[in-house]
């Protein structure tokens, strides 16, 4: 796409930006399916706690170890105590107590045990007792070996004997055994890395010993505790002060236990180390003595010392989160508070000790972090704090560090260009820490919400960093300004991870959202630049959170009900915010799903009556949500009292009005809702279904011959009874009538094999005769001509239309309706004897089972077939009166497994795809005298895998290379499939889950089409510039159109079938041609056929209308067929070869009248308003609003004939013009009442009005009409008589078209002639022959269409040719 040559005038002329788009909402462009979120790994499988701490200190104060030569002066401080200042024993005890206090700051509730200069036995006793008391919790073993030799390469550390005269080695192997797991080891001694190596070697050795004990060849009894102890290496953590060949620093400015100081007193050692660096020169006058005078406490963030500790925690957390793998970060920094503190401090130890040529080690091993750029932020924070120290000591006020504000700014900068493709923001853990501060909390929550809005990946990152407990605790805050931010954050969290609802209910967090939902004055967030500012949206998110809390969670339902959630939701159903209305309904639906208490609470509040108003909501999603709520309201009652039954009936009768809704998602939810009612009253519906089927069979017996149709293989469907002698009516008539009234043989709802009820076994050439009470029979007879036409039907989706829907695995045995719609056909079935609630609902279900939208149709068919199946297998058997049958009584139907089973087809030919057999129990009856009866059918199922006898498997008339019959699986297996009932049937939709995706995706980001930098926006801009140019280029040709000949043939090709409707695309060189059942797409510039796809209309119907929607942008194709259905197609032609998809389909007219020559469905589309007019073989004009996908009004035509064409005023959409089959042209004003809306009737035509056109501009007359008699009349709405007449030489005018821009008219005749006139009545061209060397005569014209902009005329003829004529000669 090139944009360089777009001028400013062209940009300002893009009027297409204001045109609304039809059928381009998310419900049309997305598949209504649940989102598949990945399993979240942020929640630890098990929380651990360090409950015991062993402090083993081998100092031997005053005596240096023999293998270490210390410098003079040397580092002496142990736990910030000089051991030489007092007696050795007192110093040792003081150091031990000090170390314990330092650890208690990180884990005050642990059990501490000191072991000072111990022996091996004392260490063993200490470790075993701590492990015994800790059970499965973690134990810490701290070892300080500054007064003993270095660890050995054999894996030994040193302790003492009882008299302190010898150093005694202690094996790490024994230490592992005593400590068990989980444990954490801290080694503060020289060559500490040797201990890590030995530890890992011994762990592997123990692992091998365990494997050997578990080996099956090893016999003997082992210790139960030894067998059950987990491998130590997997659950043990180690921290070592230095490498295996490194000595501890001896700098006298440092403490001797530098590693321990870093782990237990990080701020103190960090400040002292900072002062020893050259950077401290920037802060003159700071001495080590002043460092001890920094005011404040470590746990008080408002003081300088506390703020430094807070910043240190945030920085070390941030470094770890950015460097470590997520799983390791969770294990070390989120599983155990003490372990997390030690590892945060370990990062500082690595930085400080590396500066003294020591490399601290850990297991699991961490990547180097001592040069991470966040340490510079720490140095700056220390610098700022220390620079204020002299003034603070003199009483000055402390100025808080700008660290957190600056980090939030950095996070905000990242958010401006944040995406999943970029590295995660390193400041995310700092945002977590900022939530603790009231000063920055509001801004932090706002930025956190913006981050979570980026998508589920962002929510997962935030949860992995540990955001959950913080935002859970914040729900206890009473600050109103936090409400909108917290609601938004929790909506994002629950949209991704629903397991959090248990934590919410446990902490009474649901009350927070109930109060938000009930607060009509929900505050707008005060944070700057916040985009979440709509009060309705905040309450919507609160409703969403509550809906997630109660979804399938009884504790949540009970808690919400106690919080009066039903009344709160019902009070706000009339809110102006549509998304809030939608989620209020969904919340109610989930509250009372399988929860009687909530349902009866709704009954007391008349919840169902209040929900009725939402069934007429402007938004289809709201209507669908209301249907879901009413459906669960019906299906949640367990006790069937009279009151409950009356309510169910009331709801059911209200819901059936939704069957005419224009949105497929609403009708699909209607099927699921009515399923709840049908499941409750299964017996009544089965009785009605059986009665309908019996009435239908009885009519067939009285009106049809014996031969009703022929199936493949030579089997003929015949009727039982007196009508068997009647043979004067052909089979297809019966088939068509039967198919229009009822579903045929029951399917297994997606699994039942068609053969189970349709295939008939033969034995030695005999047919096992299946008889139905009052029903047809199968007999062996030669096939009759034409009979096979009724035996099968094209399967669903076989034409590859690519609507994106996959039908059930097995064949659904529900025959497609003929062109008579279900309403008209079914009305003949229902008599006044059973016109009750169940009949009306069943009637609607049968209508939905022939819905034009496949997903609705198949869902309804599965339910209808389940009821028919129940009616079939619970039917009372009847004796058969037949001279050819045996005297044995038929088997009685039963519900036992294996009963009523029909084996697989054993004939010599495949079974028909659809055979006209009602839903009755099939009974074997021989039909030929003198032949042996078939073997008796087993009463009980044979064993799995048992074979049939030879005579059952093979017939005498097998084909030469036939591989024989297909052996059924078993009677039990197939009967199990047949016994599917409505109670066990899973009828559900993904709409509710699809609605949840709204909150999982970004709600702040503007859509791509509104983003001027998005690729989609650029594509649209290119299309609109192209459209503007084509409009301007067409003006020159239109000015001369009234005098130019229009007969130069620029395109001709033979179409797939006879063209019935043809349309030009205004801006692409495409022409679409509709035949009876499909649409063909041509490129008229190069003559290429681009695509062909079927319309999926019923077999005996045809396409009668077609138009382009959104032709200025992403074009859709709309088709209307004479069964009253409208279908919208996407990707009618795609450069990327995307499959054609069905966007939407609905029954625009449901009462089409039967006619010998009907006009079918006549449509008129107006892009500017999104309004669709529909009429045809009816007595009304129906107005549809496609934006809301609902009917606006019905205008009675007042004519006794069909409507043949429609036109509408594009300005106010108030003036409607209809051409009728009686020759009248009728004008309507839709603003008036139905009784007064017909304002004028023009009756000068003597025959069928072929077309009527309303001119958009001024002229001699604004309305042009033509009749089949050949007269073209011009009308002015102000007068009752025509203002101009053009008499064409046609006596059978079959098509008339008027150019939208130019003043020219084209008329086509059945006499193989096209004439082109200007509006003055002058003949411009007569077209009789196709161009070519031997130009043949054009066929009878079936359709005509002008190009909306260019001077092109398309003509379709009965000989299937499509030709295009122009005023310009085609370039040769």
Hey, what's the torsion of the CAs at 936, 939, 940, 942, to 10 degrees? Answer: 10
Closest CA to 260 of 201, 342, 160: 342
Q: Is the peptide bond before 1367 cis (omega within 30 degrees of 0)?
A: no
Pair type for strands 1341-1346 and 1323-1327:
unpaired
DSSP per residue, 1165-1231: EETTTTEEEEEESSSEEEEEETTTTEEEEEEE---SS-EEEEEE-TTTS-EEEEEETTS-EEEEETT
- For residue 1252, give the H/E element and its range: strand 1249-1254
DSSP 946: P
Contact (CB, 8 A) for 797 and 962: no
353 touches 363 (CB < 8 A): no
**The pLDDT of residue 961 is above 60:** no
Q: Is the pLDDT of residue 1109 over 90?
A: yes
pLDDT of residue 924: 37
How do residues 906-931 score in pLDDT, each as one tens digit? 333 333 333 333 333 333 333 344 44
Q: What is the pLDDT of residues 156-191, one digit of tens each?
A: 999 999 988 899 999 999 999 999 989 999 999 999
Which pLDDT score, from 0 to 100, does residue 608 have?
A: 94
Cα–Cα distance between 635 and 896 in angstroms, integer? 28
Share of the chain above pLDDT 90, in %: 52
* CA separation for the pair 642, 512 (Å, rounded): 38
- Distance, in Å, from the CA atom of 531 to the CA atom of 508, rounded to the nearest integer, reads 28
3-state per-residue secondary structure call for 1078-1122: EEEEEECCCCEEEEEEECCCCCCCCEEEEEEECCCCCCEEEEEEC
DSSP string, 844-870: HHHHHTT-SSHHHHHHHHHHHHHHHHH
pLDDT per residue as tens digits for the range 994-1023? 999 999 888 888 777 777 878 888 888 899
**Which pLDDT does position 1176 carry in this prediction?**
93
pLDDT score of 1125: 95
- Whether the per-residue pLDDT at 849 is higher than 50: the answer is yes
Whether 1146 and 1187 have beta carbons less than 8 Å apart is answered as no
> Contact at 8 Å (CB) between 485 and 442?
yes
Cβ neighbours for 986, distance < 8 A, ≥ 6 positions apart: none
CB count within 10 Å of CB 1158 equals 20
Q: Of the candidates 340, 334, 338, 344, which has an alpha carbon nearest to the alpha carbon of residue 468?
A: 334
Average pLDDT over residues 341-345: 96
Q: Are 1253 and 1231 in contact (CB under 8 A)?
A: no
* Planar angle of CA 832, 836, 842, nearest 5 degrees: 105
Q: Most distant CA pair in the chain: distance in Å?
A: 134
SS3 for 179? helix
Q: Strand pairing of 1141-1147 and 1125-1130?
A: antiparallel
Dihedral pair phi/psi, residue 514, rounded to 5°: -65, -40
3-state secondary structure 616-668: HCCCHHHHHHHHHHHHHHHHCCCCCCHHHHHHHHHHHHHHHHHHHCCCHHHHH
pTM to 2 decimals?
0.80
575 to each of 382, 483, 572, 585, how far by Cα in Å? 54, 20, 5, 12
SS3 398: coil
Q: Which residues pair with 1105 in a beta bridge?
A: 1120
Report, as an integer, the average pLDDT of 203-217.
76
Whether the CB-CB separation of 924 and 934 falls below 8 Å is answered with yes
User: Dihedral of CA 598/601/605/606: which sign?
Assistant: positive
The pLDDT of residue 986 is above 80:
no
Q: Comparing 56 with 719, which gets the higher pLDDT?
A: 56
Q: What angle do CA 1188, 1189, 1195 make, to 5 degrees?
A: 100
Q: In b/e form, how buried is each residue of 678-716, taking b as 16+ CB within 10 angstroms?
A: bbbbbebbbbbbbbbbbbbbeebbeebbbbbbbbbbbbb
Residue 415: pLDDT over 80: yes
What is the residue-wise DSSP string for 1040-1086? TTTTS---EEEEEEE-SS---EEEE-SSSSEEEEE-SSEEEEEETTT
Residues 1047-1072: what's their mean pLDDT? 92
CA angle 597, 603, 607 (to 5 degrees): 115
Q: What is the mean pLDDT of residues 593-614?
A: 93
CA distances from 554 to 495, 599, 834, 1068 (A): 19, 14, 41, 57
pLDDT at 1329: 84
pLDDT for the residue 1302: 86
Model confidence band, residue 66 (pLDDT cutoffs 50, 70, 90): confident
**Cα 702 off chain centre by:** 51
Nearest to 199 by CA among 145, 162, 151: 151
User: What mean pLDDT comes out for the span 1219-1223?
Assistant: 93
Contact yes or no for 628/583 (Cβ under 8 A): no
pLDDT in tens, 93-152: 999 999 999 999 999 999 999 999 999 999 999 999 999 999 889 999 999 999 999 999
Distance of CA 548 to the CA centre of its chain: 16
Q: What is d(CA 83, CA 91) in angstroms, rounded to the nearest whole number?
A: 5
Task: Look at residues 26, 1252, 111 and name the one whose alpha carbon lies nearest to residue 579.
Answer: 26
| Amino acid 714: pLDDT | 38
Q: Which two tokens stand for residue 1059?
A: 């063209």
DSSP secondary structure string for all residues of 430-444: HHHHHTT-TTTHHHH
Query: Looking at residue 306, what is its pLDDT?
Result: 93
Q: What would the mean pLDDT of 48-58 be, rounded to a whole number?
A: 94
Question: Which ranges of 427-534 would DSSP assign to H, the alpha helix?
Answer: 428-434, 441-452, 456-465, 468-474, 483-496, 500-506, 510-517
């Amino acid at each position: 796409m090139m944009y360089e040559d777009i001028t400013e005038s062209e940009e300002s002329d893009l009027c297409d930006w204001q045109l609304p788009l039809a059928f381009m909402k998310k419900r049309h462009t997305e598949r209504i399916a649940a989102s598949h979120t990945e399993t979240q790994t942020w929640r630890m499988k098990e929380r651990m706690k360090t409950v015991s701490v062993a402090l083993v200190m081998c100092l031997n104060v005053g005596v240096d170890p023999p293998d270490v030569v210390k410098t003079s002066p040397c580092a002496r401080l142990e736990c910030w105590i000089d051991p030489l200042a007092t007696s050795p024993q007192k110093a040792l005890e003081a150091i031990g107590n000090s170390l314990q206090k330092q650890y208690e700051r990180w884990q005050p509730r642990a059990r501490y045990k000191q072991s000072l200069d111990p022996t091996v036995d004392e260490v063993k006793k200490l470790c075993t007792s701590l492990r015994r008391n800790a059970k499965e919790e973690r134990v810490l073993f701290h070892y300080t070996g500054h007064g003993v030799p270095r660890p050995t390469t054999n894996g030994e550390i040193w302790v003492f004997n009882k008299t302190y005269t010898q150093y005694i080695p202690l094996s790490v192997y024994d230490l592992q055994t005593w400590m068990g797991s989980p444990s954490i080891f801290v080694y503060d001694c020289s060559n500490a890395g040797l201990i890590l190596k030995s530890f890992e070697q011994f762990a592997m050795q123990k692992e091998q010993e365990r494997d050997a004990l578990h080996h099956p060849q090893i016999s003997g009894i082992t210790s139960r505790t030894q067998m059950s102890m987990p491998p130590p290496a997997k659950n043990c953590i180690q921290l070592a002060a230095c490498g295996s060949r490194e000595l501890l620093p001896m700098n006298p400015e440092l403490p001797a236990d530098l590693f321990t100081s870093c782990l237990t007193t990080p701020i103190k050692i960090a400040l002292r180390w900072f002062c020893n660096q050259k950077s401290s020169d920037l802060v003159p006058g700071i001495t080590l003595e002043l460092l001890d005078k920094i005011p404040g406490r470590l746990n008080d963030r408002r003081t300088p010392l506390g703020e430094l500790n807070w910043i240190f925690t945030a920085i070390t957390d941030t470094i770890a989160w950015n460097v470590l793998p997520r799983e390791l970060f969770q294990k070390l920094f989120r599983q155990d508070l003490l372990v997390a503190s030690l590892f945060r401090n370990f990062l500082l130890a690595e930085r400080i000790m590396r500066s003294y040529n020591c490399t601290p080690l850990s297991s699991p091993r961490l990547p180097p972090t001592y040069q991470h750029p966040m340490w510079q932020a720490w140095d700056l924070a220390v610098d700022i704090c220390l620079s204020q120290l002299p003034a603070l000591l003199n009483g000055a006020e402390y100025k808080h560090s700008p660290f957190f504000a600056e980090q939030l700014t950095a996070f905000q900068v990242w958010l401006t260009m944040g995406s999943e493709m970029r590295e995660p923001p390193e400041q995310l853990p700092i945002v977590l820490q900022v939530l603790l501060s009231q000063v920055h909390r509001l801004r932090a929550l706002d930025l956190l919400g913006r981050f979570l809005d980026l998508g589920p990946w962002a929510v997962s990152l935030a949860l992995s960093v540990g955001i959950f407990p913080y935002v859970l605790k914040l729900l206890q805050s009473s600050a109103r300004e936090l409400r909108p931010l917290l609601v938004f954050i929790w909506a994002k969290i629950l949209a991704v991870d629903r397991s959090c609802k248990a934590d919410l209910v446990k902490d009474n967090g649901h009350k927070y959202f109930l109060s938000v939902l009930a607060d009509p004055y929900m505050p707008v967030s005060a944070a700057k630049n916040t985009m979440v500012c709509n009060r309705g949206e905040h309450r919507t998110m609160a409703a969403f959170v509550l809906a997630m809390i109660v979804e399938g969670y009884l504790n949540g339902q009970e808690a919400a009900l106690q919080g009066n959630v039903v009344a709160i939701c019902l009070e706000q159903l009339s809110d102006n915010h549509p998304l809030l209305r939608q989620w209020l309904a969904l919340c109610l639906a989930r509250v009372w799903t399988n929860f009687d208490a909530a349902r009866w609470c709704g009954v007391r509040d008349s919840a169902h009556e209040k929900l009725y108003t939402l069934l007429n909501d402007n938004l289809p999603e709201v209507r669908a949500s209301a249907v879901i709520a009413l459906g669960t309201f019906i299906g949640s009652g367990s006790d069937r009292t009279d009151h409950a039954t009356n309510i169910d009936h009331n709801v059911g009768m209200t819901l059936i009005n939704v069957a005419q809704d224009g949105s497929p998602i609403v009708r699909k939810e209607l099927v699921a809702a009515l399923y709840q009612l049908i499941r409750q009253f299964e017996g009544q519906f089965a009785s009605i279904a059986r009665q309908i089927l019996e009435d239908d069979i009885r009519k067939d017996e009285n009106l049809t011959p014996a031969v009703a149709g022929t199936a493949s293989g030579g089997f003929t469907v015949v009727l039982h009874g007196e009508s068997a002698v009647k043979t004067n009516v052909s089979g297809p008539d019966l088939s068509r009538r039967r198919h229009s009234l009822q579903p045929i043989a029951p399917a297994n709802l997606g699994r039942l094999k068609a053969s189970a009820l349709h295939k008939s076994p033969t034995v030695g050439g005999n047919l096992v005769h299946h008889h139905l009470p009052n029903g047809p029979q199968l007999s062996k007879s030669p096939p009759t001509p034409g009979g096979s036409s009724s035996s099968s039907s094209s399967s669903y989706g076989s034409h590859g239309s690519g609507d994106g829907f996959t039908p059930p695995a097995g064949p659904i045995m529900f025959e497609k309706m003929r062109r008579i719609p279900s309403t008209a056909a079914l009305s003949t079935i229902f008599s006044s004897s059973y016109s009750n609630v169940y009949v009306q609902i069943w009637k609607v279900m049968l209508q939905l089972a022939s819905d034009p939208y496949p997903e609705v149709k198949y869902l309804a068919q599965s339910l209808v077939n389940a009821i028919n199946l129940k009616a079939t297998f619970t039917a009372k058997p009847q004796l058969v009166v037949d001279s050819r049958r045996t005297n044995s009584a038929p088997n009685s139907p039963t519900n036992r497994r294996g009963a009523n089973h029909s084996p697989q087809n054993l004939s010599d030919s495949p079974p028909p795809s659809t055979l006209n057999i009602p839903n009755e129990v099939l009974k074997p009856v021989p039909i030929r005298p003198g032949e042996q009866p078939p073997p008796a059918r087993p009463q009980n199922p044979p064993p799995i895998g048992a074979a049939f006898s030879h005579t059952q498997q093979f017939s005498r008339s097998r084909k030469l290379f036939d591989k024989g019959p297909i052996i059924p699986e078993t009677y039990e297996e197939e009967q199990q499939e047949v016994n599917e009932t409505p109670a066990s049937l899973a009828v559900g939709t993904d709409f509710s889950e699809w609605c949840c995706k709204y909150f999982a995706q970004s709600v702040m980001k503007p859509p791509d089409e509104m983003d001027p930098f998005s690729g989609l926006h650029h594509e649209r801009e290119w299309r609109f510039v192209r459209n503007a140019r084509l409009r301007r280029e067409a003006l020159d040709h239109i000015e001369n159109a009234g005098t130019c000949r229009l007969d130069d043939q620029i395109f001709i090709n033979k179409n797939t079938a006879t063209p019935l409707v043809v349309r030009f695309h205004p801006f692409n060189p495409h022409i679409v041609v509709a035949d009876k059942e499909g649409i063909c797409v041509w490129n008229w510039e190069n003559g290429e056929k681009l695509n062909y796809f079927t319309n999926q209309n019923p077999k005996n119907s045809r396409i009668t209308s077609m138009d382009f929607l959104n032709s200025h942008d992403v074009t859709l194709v709309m088709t209307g067929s004479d069964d009253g259905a409208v279908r919208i197609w996407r990707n009618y032609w795609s450069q990327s070869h995307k499959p054609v998809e069905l966007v939407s389909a609905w029954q625009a007219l449901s009462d089409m009248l039967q006619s010998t020559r009907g006009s079918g469905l006549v449509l008129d589309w107006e892009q500017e308003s999104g309004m669709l007019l529909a009429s045809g073989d009816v007595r009304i004009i129906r107005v549809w609003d496609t934006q809301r996908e609902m009917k606006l009004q019905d205008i009675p035509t007042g004519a006794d004939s069909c409507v043949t064409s429609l036109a509408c005023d594009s300005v106010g959409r108030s003036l409607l013009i209809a051409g009728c089959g009686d020759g009248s042209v009728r004008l309507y004003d839709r603003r008036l009442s139905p009784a007064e809306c017909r304002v004028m009737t023009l009756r000068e035509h003597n025959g069928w009005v072929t077309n009527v056109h309303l001119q958009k501009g001024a002229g001699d007359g604004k309305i042009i009409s033509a009749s089949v008699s050949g007269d073209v009349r011009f009308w002015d709405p102000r007068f009752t008589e025509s203002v101009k007449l053009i008499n064409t030489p046609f006596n059978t005018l079959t098509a008339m078209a008027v150019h939208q821009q130019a003043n020219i008219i084209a008329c086509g005749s059945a006499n193989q002639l096209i004439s082109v006139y200007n509006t003055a009545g002058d003949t411009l061209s007569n077209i009789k022959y196709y161009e070519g060397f031997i130009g043949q005569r054009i066929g009878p014209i079936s359709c005509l269409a002008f190009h909306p902009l260019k001077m092109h005329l398309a003509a379709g003829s009965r000989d299937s040719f499509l030709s295009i004529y122009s005023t310009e000669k085609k370039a040769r």
